[in-house]
């Protein structure tokens, strides 16, 4: 089992896709997980221009790159969220429209469905992304939560996402939710509840990014073991804890590069993610999809970091054994 190592292009969305593909091909990546912003994957163009998907595939192939997943993170966030001015900064203008919240959510849902259609045209079977959540802001139960309202949050998620997954099913594409704070599923318990809410539909699965488990003091390998049948995609990203009795696991309303934070994202191999442990459980559970490097590190040059991360994954992502190590002992005289 040789898994392709790809680069998630979201953090390079300011770089034209032709330039980024040339860089990544030269660095030795196997492919790209294309972000649907910048000019990396233009969903409306893919649906309206007959040659767009073919030409994008050809661009990747010229640079010896494949594509196994595309991303709908930004528009997916707006499907269930309470909408505020922050969303305007990350949404396409035509999805934001006049900013009326329910209209934004409806147009975001339409764009996620269209991303499935664009993925199918590219020959891609997985769309990664966020769902948003109507109840994330009630994480800390004070004033005390109305648990019926929490239940309605999961119902709202299922009602909004079920029609989207209908489109995914029709296109032969699966959605992989990145389990992540601010989403309907961000840990073990909420993932179980989200999957149950949507009826454990095969079209709805998970993108596992281990960096989002580290600040919650959770084990990403144990998560993969529990939800192995739903792991449709894997990000390789790292996080570093800096808890010293003065810094919090919460965000402290400071930026990622602030010394006051109790944790931050760092380049793969420079934090607290046990990538080898994750690889072992992926081997054991039979995951054969890509390992997609999502590079985030406020203190490191991104081009240097992408190449360093690729080398780290190549060193660590060993294939499973096809023979027991002690098999040759049997029958020995």
Distance between CA atoms of 114 and 58, rounded to whole angstroms? 21
Give how far Cα 263 sits from Cα of 210, 223, 309, Å.
14, 20, 19
Which pTM value belongs to this model? 0.96
Parallel/antiparallel/unpaired status of strands 263-266 and 238-241: antiparallel
User: Can you give the pLDDT at residue 12?
Assistant: 97
Question: Which pLDDT score, from 0 to 100, does residue 153 have?
Answer: 98
The CATH number given to whatever domain includes residue 188 is 3.20.20.150
Report how far residue 176's alpha carbon sits from residue 129's, in angstroms, rounded to the nearest whole number: 6
Report if residue 88 sits inside a domain.
yes
Q: For residue 333, is it within any domain?
A: no
pLDDT at 155 (0 to 100):
98
If you write DSSP's letter for every residue of 252-289 in order, what string do you get?
TT--TT-TT-SEEEE-TTSSS--HHHHHHHHHHHT--S
126 falls within a domain: yes
Establish if 330 belongs to a structural domain: no
Q: Give the whole-angstrom CA distance, residue 124 versus residue 118.
A: 9
* Predicted pLDDT of residue 333: 54
Q: What is the tens place of the pLDDT at every residue in 120-145?
A: 999 999 999 999 999 999 999 999 99
Smallest CA-to-CA distance from 180 within 143, 130, 145 is with 130
Q: Which residues, 6+ apart, have CB-to-CB distance to 137 below 8 Å?
A: 82
- How many other CB atoms sit within 10 Å of the CB of residue 226? 15
**What is the number of structural domains in the chain?**
1
pLDDT digits (tens, 9 = 90+) for 214-253: 999 999 999 999 999 999 999 999 999 999 999 999 989 9
The pLDDT confidence band at residue 331, using thresholds 50, 70 and 90, is low
- The upper half-sphere exposure of residue 284, i.e. CA atoms within 13 Å in the direction of its Cβ, equals 13
Is 70 exceeded by the pLDDT of residue 1?
no
Q: Tokens 């804890």 label which residue?
A: 241
Task: Average the pLDDT over 175-181 and give the result.
Answer: 98
Radius of gyration, CA atoms only, the chain: 20
CA distances from 323 to 101, 276, 286, 288, 333 (A): 56, 19, 15, 18, 20
From CA 295, how far away is CA 266, in angstroms rounded?
A: 8
Residue 327 pLDDT class (50, 70, 90 cuts): confident
51 in a structural domain: yes
Task: Give residue-wise pLDDT tens across range 188-220.
Answer: 999 999 999 999 999 999 999 999 999 999 999
On the question of pLDDT at 32 being above 90, the answer is: yes
146, 185 contact by CB (below 8 A): no
Provide mean pLDDT across the span 181-187. 98
Confidence band (pLDDT; 50, 70, 90) for 152? very high
pLDDT in tens, 43-99: 999 999 999 999 999 999 999 999 999 999 999 999 999 999 999 999 999 999 999
* Total residues found in the chain within this entry: 333
144 vs 155: CA distance, rounded Å: 20
Does 36 map to a domain? Answer: yes
Residue whose C-alpha is closest to residue 209's, from 256, 265, 263, 247: 265
Query: How do residues 287-324 score in pLDDT, each as one tens digit?
Result: 999 999 999 999 999 999 999 999 999 999 988 888 87
How would residue 22 be classed by pLDDT, with cut points 50, 70 and 90? Answer: very high
Q: What separation, in Å, do the N-terminal and C-terminal C-alpha atoms of the chain show?
A: 33
Range of the domain at 98: 5-325
Residue 86 belongs to a domain: yes
CA distances from 252 to 143, 147, 247, 262 (A): 20, 27, 8, 8
Tokens of 302: 């991104």
Domain-located, residue 331: no
Instruction: Look up residue 17 and give its two tokens.
Output: 């896709």
Dihedral angle sign, alpha carbons of residues 79, 84, 89, 93: positive
Q: Which pLDDT band holds residue 274 (cuts at 50, 70, 90)? A: very high
Three-state SS at 10:
helix
Find the mean pLDDT for residues 6-34. 98
Measured CA to CA, the distance from residue 236 to residue 47 in angstroms comes to 30
């Amino acid at each position: 089992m040789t898994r392709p190592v790809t680069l998630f292009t979201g953090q390079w969305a300011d770089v034209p896709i032709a330039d980024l593909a040339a860089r990544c091909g030269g660095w030795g990546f196997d492919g790209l997980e294309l972000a649907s912003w910048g000019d990396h994957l233009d969903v409306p163009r893919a649906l309206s221009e007959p040659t767009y998907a073919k030409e994008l595939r050809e661009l990747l192939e010229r640079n010896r790159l494949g594509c196994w997943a595309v991303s709908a993170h930004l528009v997916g966030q707006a499907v269930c969220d309470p909408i505020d001015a922050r969303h305007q900064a990350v949404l396409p203008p035509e999805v934001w429209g006049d900013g009326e919240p329910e209209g934004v959510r409806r147009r975001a849902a339409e764009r996620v469905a269209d991303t499935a259609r664009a993925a199918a045209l590219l020959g891609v079977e997985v769309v990664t992304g966020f769902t948003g959540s109507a109840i994330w802001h009630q994480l800390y139960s004070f004033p005390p939560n109305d648990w019926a309202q929490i239940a309605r949050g999961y119902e709202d998620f299922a009602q909004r996402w079920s029609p989207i997954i209908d489109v995914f099913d029709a296109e032969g594409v699966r959605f992989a939710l990145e389990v992540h704070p601010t989403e309907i599923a961000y840990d073990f318990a909420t993932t179980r509840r989200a999957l149950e809410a949507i009826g454990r539909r095969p079209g709805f699965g998970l993108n596992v990014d281990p960096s989002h488990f580290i600040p919650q003091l959770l084990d990403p390998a144990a998560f993969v073991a529990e939800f192995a049948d739903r792991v449709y995609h894997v990000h390789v990203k790292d996080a570093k804890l800096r808890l010293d009795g003065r810094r919090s696991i919460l965000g402290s309303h400071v930026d990622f590069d602030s010394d006051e934070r109790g944790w931050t994202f760092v380049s793969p191999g420079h934090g607290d993610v046990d990538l080898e442990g994750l690889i072992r459980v992926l081997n054991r559970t039979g995951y054969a999809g890509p390992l997609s490097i999502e590079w985030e590190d406020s203190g490191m040059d991104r081009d240097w970091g992408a190449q360093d991360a690729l080398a780290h994954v190549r060193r660590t992502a060993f294939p499973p054994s096809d023979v027991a190590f002690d098999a040759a002992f049997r029958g020995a005289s």
